[in-house]
Amino acid sequence: SDVGPQRERVVTEEEWLQKWETGNIRFHKEQGHPLFQKHLDVLLNGRSGLRIFFPLCGKAVEMKWLADMGHNVVGVEVSEQALKEFFSEHSLPYCEEPVPEISGGKMFQSTSGNISLYCCSIYDLSSSIVGKFDGVWDRGALVAVNPRDRQRYASLMINLMEKNSSYLLVTVSYDPNKHKGPPFYVPESEVKSLFG
Ligand code: SAH
């Protein structure tokens, strides 16, 4: 498949912040993503008290759902506005603290302690800062990463995974000549070569 037209496209962090400021966030699903419910059992596999990672989390409501089910949720997002909206829209009290390992990085944590959202770039994270995860919900994340950064993103994600973890990935299929993205078109063959 021809992904040529999108290969050089770059969306800057500034542009993402601006989308949040202007409310240009049609990617946000107030009712959650239908595929989350459908495949949740694959993610959890009957296990409880998991650590679940939400890369490029926005204010995804699935974070609240998993926390309510007793799991520990960690997310990362460049927009502080998105994270504050997440807590306020769910009426969750939280506290804010600096992340010493990351210059300018902050962590917003629910007072209950089971939702920790890092405000920084995903590329600032490592397993020494956030630990490893039993599950990943990747919706609007791999497909939002700039095409040139995909390899780096995938290597980091693999590094953040425990041995027996599950990774749910949502991609979108369309003709990349007709839309510049994001979401970018990531063909199945590329998913395979990125994640093995
Ligand atoms: N996964 C969420 C949001 C998808 S949109 C959902 O399903 O609703 C992609 C999000 O990634 C945006 O909120 C954007 O601000 C954030 N983002 C973009 N680049 C990032 C980066 N390098 N590190 C962390 N977050 C990033």
| Ligand 1 proximity of 117 Cβ (cutoff 6 Å) | no
pLDDT, one tens digit per residue, over 145-194 is 999 999 999 999 999 999 999 999 999 999 999 999 999 999 999 999 99
- The fraction of the chain above a pLDDT of 90, given in percent, is 97
The domain limits of the chain are: 49-195
Q: Are 163 and 127 in contact (CB under 8 A)?
A: no
Counts of helices then strands in the chain (DSSP H, E): 7, 7
Question: What's the confidence (pLDDT) of residue 196?
Answer: 87
Backbone angles phi, psi at 166, to 5 degrees: -115, 145
CA distance 50 to 176: 36
Answer whether residue 40 shows pLDDT above 60: yes
pLDDT, one tens digit per residue, over 78-109 is 999 999 999 999 999 999 999 999 999 999 99
Give the dihedral sign, CA 84/90/94/97.
negative
What is the band of 4 on the pLDDT scale with cuts at 50, 70, 90?
confident
The residue whose CA has the least distance to atom 15 of ligand 1 is 16
CA of 120 to the centre of ligand 1 (A): 11
Check whether 108 is labelled as a binding-site residue.
no
Q: Are 109 and 116 in contact (CB under 8 A)?
A: yes
Mutation to probe ligand 1, out of 18, 78, 150, 172 (largest number of atoms < 8 A from CB): 78
Six-digit token string for 16: 């993402």
The CATH number of 49-195, from 3.30.70.2660, 3.40.50.150, 3.30.43.10, 3.90.550.10, is 3.40.50.150
CA of 16 to the centre of ligand 1 (A): 8
Does pTM top 0.85 for this prediction?
yes
CA of 110 to the centre of ligand 1 (A): 20
